[in-house]
Structure 1
Amino acid sequence: MLNWKKWRKKALLPALGLAVLTVGIPAAVYAKNPAAPQGSSNNGVAVKSVEFVGMPAPSTAADMAKLYTTASVKVTYSDGSSKSFPLSYKKLFKSTDKVGGTIAGVAVDAKGSPIMDTTNPSQPVPYVSEDPDANSLFSVPGMKADGKGGNALSLVTHYEYINRAYGTVPASMSLTTIDQNKTTGELTPVTLKKIDFSGVGGLWIPCNGSLTPWNTHLGSEEYEGDARAFEADPTKTYTGSFVQNYYGDTTKVGNPYAYGYIPEVTVKADNSTSVAKHYSMGRFSHELGKVAPDFRTVLFGDDGGNTMLFMYVADKAKDLSAGTLYAAKWVQKSADNGGSADLQWIKLGHATDKEVKAYVDQGLKFSDIFETSDAAAAGFTAIKTYPSGKLEYLKVKPGMEKAAAFLESRRYGAIVGATAEFNKMEGVAFDTKSNKAYIAMSYVEKAMEKDTKGADPADDIQVNKISAGVTYELTLTGKQKDKAGSSIDSAYVPSFMQGLVVGEDLAAPDALGNKANPDKVANPDNLSFSQELRTLFIGEDSSLHVNNFVWAYNVDTKKLSRVLSTPAGAEATGLSAVDNLNGFSYVMSNIQHPGDEMIVADSLKADVENYINQNFDNKSSGLVGYLSGLPTKQQMLAAKADEAKLVELREKAKNGGASIIVTKGAKDIVIVKGSHKLSIRVGSKTATLDGKTITLPKAPVNKQGRVWINAGALDQLFNP
């Protein structure tokens, strides 16, 4: 791109936190340009295509220890021309930073006070998470600006766990008020507070999350405690230590059925919040819930081994407090590339949050719901599901079907015939234009492979092993019937599932230590879809790549581009594509636990670790931030419209390091930059760039002895 330092000082502003140059002008400058209509620029040219130009994987120890991008967005117009918008990564805060006086990742108890680590009794310190996860960035109608002159935005962020106290210390979410610069779109954190979960008994391991179409945040509670194991021995799950730390009371026992749901956070105009747990959406290892465009249908990730694909259809739009829960049966069609299958849906039951919460409040136990057997017996069904992972023989006690469906959704689903063989089911995203959904399966192995020993109670999924994982495409259709023949009241029912973006395992590690092809996605986790860019963003949680990446996959062209590299050992989390928020677009993306369990080659490991310790406080901090520089459609068109504007030639060429040769009475002019040469003639639209004839939108003109040329010509010279 142009490197005109003087021009930047005078005219350029950082678009989305970055000087995004097209014709030496940032995309932000065009954000509210009235001359650029929605469909085409003011010269009638439209956007033909948008693609991401990816970055190489890091190869040096310094690069392998940082969070960065060198990728860009290439926009091609209907006249055949193109422009490049470079991307950059912008930090908002580390999890260890104080924002407005509050440590971002601090764990808090039921009273909102920091939970203290008393490992060293003489020097207690607060527990602070190094593991930020989900982000929802949005605007709340009526919220007042913070006095910095920008738009007021809200950011909800998860802090999934604390490495040294996984599960035993309650997790948290924060609400950050963000100032969005009205000119550049740059985001600045102003204040941060912890969201109060005391009304719902605290927050269990919150993994990914999503923004609903009605502007609330859906969180998650992952890896639900095994109620059967807890009843036999309360020390076998985190439940007891979790509630004791949350309430500051060592006599608390806890109830595993109180956790494992989807919490919904509503942010109000006065910056206050309210929280509701949706017990009617089922209890399982919630990676996240994602709401379809009908505002009623929800698909879920169910993380772990021997997990299940669930769907929830709410009774009313924008109201997740009552609805019907379904589980899928995989009817396999092929085994290659992650496999493909028709999906048959089994109704588990209908409930309200109030009904299911009543079961929890009355202290219902596993043994109140199921009878068990140690071996096959009449009336008992053999199942194998998470969290047990063991072969179980269960029978639902009479009248306890609803309790089983919503407190033990996976166990009950397996009993009635749903498939419990998915492995590490992670992110979910919707493409409303194509009526598709996408689900990440981080590791396609174990229960998803054919059971060659015949040891499992069911073997619906028999696909070929891909440890690097697969992102699946789901076809959504309406007028579907469940297994019992009853209509499913949704137009967004997944009916077919097939592998789309497939990882590639390596037979042996490469020179850097990668165990999967670094030029393909490995172990997909977070997913987010940009309707405006027609792009599925995929974030990795890989133990097979030295560095985890964020990828951009164009669902129309099928092009895959690496757009962000995280430090070795860090997971890419909090992925959220935000289209056109007050005229600016972002991709939110965090990292957690940098330097954790690195697989870097021995020759580089010590240097990489040293750099990570320098960059991330000795591995104690994660980071919350965003990928900036993505142009909105309006900015793309405005950039093209501006191409025809005239700029003063001599100053721009000089500041850009180019030389000028003037001949024939100052009419013929040659501008030279390195090995590139642009020849123009005052009064003529015809010019020559590196020996090729081009046509300028406007002819150069001489005004009072100064030649003015359209900016697009210089853009082609400096960016041929």
Structure 2
Amino acid sequence: MSDQTSLFRRQTLKFLASAPLLPLGASSALLAACGVITTKSQSAEYVSTSFTSMAAPTLANAAAMATTAVGATLNVHYGDNSTQRYKLAYQPFFITGEQVPDGKGGTILSGGYFDIHNKPIIDKSVAGKERQFFSDAPDGTSLLSLPNPSVTGIKGKAVFAVVQFEYLTRDQLGAASDKNNAYGTLPSPIAVLTLDQNQQTGKLSLVKYHNVDTSSAHGLWITCGASLSPWNTHLSSEEYEPDAQFIAENTLFKKYSKNLFGDENKANPYHYGHLPEVTVNPDGSGTIKKHYCLGRISHELIQVMPDNRTVLMGDDYTNGGFFMFVADREKDLSAGTLYVAKVGAGFSVDPYALGATLSWIKLGHATSTEIEKLADTLKPSDIMSSVKTDPLDASYTKIFADGVANWVKLKPGMEKAAAFLETHRYANLVGASMGFTKMEGTTVNIKDKIAYSALQNIQNSMVKNDPAWRASTGITINKAIVAGGVFAHNLDGDQKDTSGITIKSEWVPIKTKALLVGEDTPADALGNLANPEKIANPDNLKFSEKMRTLFIGEDSSTHVNNFLWAYNVDTKKLSRIMSMPAGAEATGLHAVDEINGWTYIMSNFQHAGDWSGKLHSKVKDQLDPLIKANYNDRFGAAVGYLTAEPTQMTLTKKQSI
């Protein structure tokens, strides 16, 4: 019996015993497997999983546009031609801003912000309405189990989730004036959730919320996507690293420093833009360390390969790169070698094109400890000179950083410091293909040795003759695709870097090509600026090995409602499985093939009702009051899940031909 068959059979038995009582309460699971089936089907081998797509909601059902809407079904196919179908449903653990159990007999504010001393940070923007800040932007989430949990009050089995909160969109004063005035001004919290897993139904119930102390990591900056490491830790992110070269101009970072340290000048920009790692402890607490040797870039949703050493990294940046890190030791990201890709001829947004070759430039080798020490001691001017106007000096090199022209000059002997603290600029200087636009989520299909990366947008630095484009990147397209796309990278071993040194990994991307591409359109009757039957502005990506499915979450400025999609890599079928509230981004995606015999998919959203001009002009007036009523006047957002609804289970049997 295969492991896959065993898993689905275990799930079958659990559903068979408990399906009539399966609750839809606070859980985080896609209880997605085989369910109640006939005796013959129980003995039949599992073949595949598919999804039946839901229609996009319209104003004919405005309530569906103002909440998490699910109309898809999950279909499990067996070797005897029978198919078990489940209607899917969405349920949250909590809406941020709610009081949740702290595991000590009290409660704690979900998504709440804390300073460097773990004291609540208070929103005093409206006199007489002081309250602790809490996030409306939950993001990266990992679900995991431990062999010897010690949390009390568990009736089934303990399961843990790590949830990080990217930012707060607006304070109370900003909400009154509808201004997004709080982004990036608060230190990102991370929480460990202890969940009680019912062994008959798979339901997960929240029993403890623990806020992780991040003071040892200097606090966290804009934590976005995340992934679960093969060694069972939560790999976080710090997005849009503060530009140290021009930090004096960054009023947002000064506000961040003030909220974190009580001093607008204390935060060091070189401490941010790195990779935090959270370890969950058996008692439901969490500890954190920050790795400083994976490059200081716009980290988002990295993916560790099955060798436990090779790390592929998204770079959510304009004029960004495709980065790879190979650790010295398995399951240890504290030392290793950093690389950046050079794109060869043939780059295309056509899924039918052959694709472009990738070669790899070594940026340097370092330990986390030595780079943190450099961050502690060096000033930006010690590493390089950077100016935004042409100095008319041939010793400076013109580059583009986040769409803006810079002229840079490296100081003698500062190669290592530049590689790991000024990574974007240094990668430009050594000839990398710094032309990607907002490369976000990254995931891996292990069986086929293919990695996937989301390009939220395909424009600016990727478009020939755009002011931010350079032919040297090898990334040359003729027309922007605002709706973005997903690219696939073939992986292989026995590769050498551009200096001829062997890369010690069997999981090196060697070719990249388009897999799925969005389609920009004129505004339709609802306001969509991209075809709603295709992906638009992909962000989160996660791959399920057992379901052979690539899950895609949108962060779209082109779909009125952002969607969660399932793309089967064998059948090439794309299915819409969930719609987020209008104006909300789909976040926190995490596909878990098995925990104690159950299959789970985490899914959050953030900033519901974040209205965007032309895109939402046709729906805002009708949907805004509904969203405010659903989500705490737009201050709240959901941490939740997709689950199978047992009352909708059906069985069909194909006739033999």
Partner of 2:624, secondary structure, is helix
Match of 1:133 in 2: 139
Match of 1:14 in 2: 22
Give how far 1:453 is off.
6.6
Q: Give the counterpart of 1:524 among 534, 538, 541.
A: 538
Give how far 1:79 is off.
2.0
Report which stretch shifted further, 73-82 or 463-472: 73-82
Match of 2:82 in 1: 81
8 Å CA contact 2:464–2:471 kept in 1: the answer is: no
Alignment partners' CA distance in 2, 1:16 and 1:520: 30
8 Å CA contact 1:143–1:269 kept in 2: the answer is: yes
Match of 2:256 in 1: 242
Give how far 1:457 is off.
7.5
Match of 2:72 in 1: 71
Match of 2:47 in 1: 48
Larger Rg belongs to: 1
Alignment partners' CA distance in 1, 2:350 and 2:23: 40
Alignment partners' CA distance in 1, 2:35 and 2:156: 15
Alignment partners' CA distance in 2, 1:148 and 1:415: 55
8 Å CA contact 2:113–2:120 kept in 1: the answer is: yes
Give how far 1:87 is off.
1.4
Q: Give the counterpart of 1:500 among 515, 520, 524.
A: 515
Give how far 1:17 is off.
6.1
**Structure of higher RCO (CA pairs closer than 8 Å, 6+ residues apart):** 2
Partner of 2:553, secondary structure, is strand
Match of 2:212 in 1: 195
8 Å CA contact 2:529–2:615 kept in 1: the answer is: no
Report which stretch shifted further, 183-192 or 207-216: 183-192
> Matches of residues 67-216 of structure 1 in structure 2 within 5 Å?
67-100=68-101, 101-144=107-150, 146-164=152-170, 165-216=182-233
Match of 1:643 in 2: none
Partner of 1:367, secondary structure, is helix
- 1:437 correspondence with 2:477: no
Give how far 1:473 is off.
0.4
Give how far 1:286 is off.
0.8
Give how far 1:391 is off.
2.1
Alignment partners' CA distance in 1, 2:652 and 2:501: 61
Cα offsets for 1:612-649 (capped at 9, x unmatched)? 11111111101000111299xxxxxxxxxxxxxxxxxx
Alignment partners' CA distance in 1, 2:546 and 2:511: 25
Match of 1:312 in 2: 325
Match of 2:179 in 1: none
Distance 1:376 1:310, change over 3 A: farther
Distance 1:217 1:240, change over 3 A: same
Distance 1:57 1:11, change over 3 A: closer
Cα offsets for 1:105-125 (capped at 9, x unmatched)? 111011211101122344321
Give how far 1:148 is off.
4.1
Question: Which amino acid letter does the alignment assign opposite residue 381 of structure 1?
Answer: T
Partner of 2:311, secondary structure, is strand
Distance 1:458 1:141, change over 3 A: same
Runs of 5+ unmatched residues, structure 1:
1-7, 20-24, 632-654, 657-710
8 Å CA contact 2:26–2:94 kept in 1: the answer is: no
Identity, in percent, stands at 45
Match of 1:264 in 2: 277
Question: Which amino acid letter does the alignment assign opposite residue 357 of structure 2?
Answer: D
Give how far 1:172 is off.
0.9
Distance 1:454 1:519, change over 3 A: closer
> Matches of residues 483-494 of structure 1 in structure 2 within 5 Å?
483-494=498-509
Alignment partners' CA distance in 2, 1:629 and 1:56: 18
- 1:297 correspondence with 2:310: yes
8 Å CA contact 1:12–1:26 kept in 2: the answer is: no
Partner of 2:142, secondary structure, is strand
8 Å CA contact 1:442–1:523 kept in 2: the answer is: yes
Runs of 5+ unmatched residues, structure 2:
1-15, 102-106, 171-181
Alignment partners' CA distance in 2, 1:191 and 1:132: 17
Alignment partners' CA distance in 2, 1:405 and 1:579: 37
Match of 1:515 in 2: 529
Alignment partners' CA distance in 2, 1:73 and 1:516: 26
Cα offsets for 1:657-703 (capped at 9, x unmatched)? xxxxxxxxxxxxxxxxxxxxxxxxxxxxxxxxxxxxxxxxxxxxxxx
Match of 2:633 in 1: 618
Q: Give the counterpart of 1:382 among 398, 403, 407.
A: 398
Partner of 2:146, secondary structure, is coil
Partner of 2:50, secondary structure, is strand
Alignment partners' CA distance in 1, 2:467 and 2:131: 51
Give how far 1:237 is off.
4.6
Cα offsets for 1:149-183 (capped at 9, x unmatched)? 12111111111001121112211111111111111
Distance 1:492 1:605, change over 3 A: same
8 Å CA contact 1:135–1:576 kept in 2: the answer is: yes
8 Å CA contact 1:15–1:28 kept in 2: the answer is: no
TM-score, normalised via structure 2 length: 0.88
Alignment partners' CA distance in 2, 1:212 and 1:155: 13
- 1:284 correspondence with 2:297: yes
Question: Which amino acid letter does the alignment assign opposite residue 95 of structure 1?
Answer: T
Give how far 1:415 is off.
0.2
Alignment partners' CA distance in 2, 1:18 and 1:357: 40
Distance 1:16 1:344, change over 3 A: farther
Report which stretch shifted further, 139-148 or 600-609: 600-609
8 Å CA contact 2:460–2:468 kept in 1: the answer is: no
RMSD over equivalenced CA pairs, Å: 2.8
- 1:397 correspondence with 2:411: yes
8 Å CA contact 2:153–2:207 kept in 1: the answer is: no
Distance 1:501 1:109, change over 3 A: same
Question: Which amino acid letter does the alignment assign opposite residue 144 of structure 1?
Answer: S
Cα offsets for 1:243-288 (capped at 9, x unmatched)? 22112345x4321101110000111112232211100111011112
TM-score, normalised via structure 1 length: 0.81
Match of 2:346 in 1: 333
Distance 1:245 1:558, change over 3 A: same
Give how far 1:144 is off.
2.8
Alignment partners' CA distance in 2, 1:119 and 1:418: 45
8 Å CA contact 2:342–2:432 kept in 1: the answer is: yes
Distance 1:185 1:477, change over 3 A: same
Alignment partners' CA distance in 2, 1:520 and 1:401: 44
Give how far 1:27 is off.
6.0
8 Å CA contact 1:56–1:562 kept in 2: the answer is: yes
Match of 1:57 in 2: 56
Match of 1:567 in 2: 581
Alignment partners' CA distance in 1, 2:498 and 2:344: 12
Partner of 1:332, secondary structure, is coil
Partner of 1:345, secondary structure, is strand
8 Å CA contact 2:400–2:468 kept in 1: the answer is: no
Alignment partners' CA distance in 2, 1:418 and 1:18: 47
8 Å CA contact 1:17–1:185 kept in 2: the answer is: no
Alignment partners' CA distance in 2, 1:540 and 1:397: 41
Alignment partners' CA distance in 2, 1:459 and 1:315: 29
8 Å CA contact 2:18–2:200 kept in 1: the answer is: no
- 1:275 correspondence with 2:291: no
- 1:255 correspondence with 2:268: yes
Question: Which amino acid letter does the alignment assign opposite residue 520 of structure 2?
Answer: D
8 Å CA contact 1:146–1:152 kept in 2: the answer is: no
Distance 1:630 1:442, change over 3 A: farther
Match of 1:476 in 2: 491
Alignment partners' CA distance in 2, 1:26 and 1:441: 29
Distance 1:163 1:293, change over 3 A: same
8 Å CA contact 1:115–1:127 kept in 2: the answer is: yes
Report which stretch shifted further, 141-150 or 334-343: 334-343
Alignment partners' CA distance in 2, 1:275 and 1:601: 40
8 Å CA contact 1:391–1:456 kept in 2: the answer is: no
Alignment partners' CA distance in 2, 1:18 and 1:315: 41
Distance 1:628 1:249, change over 3 A: same
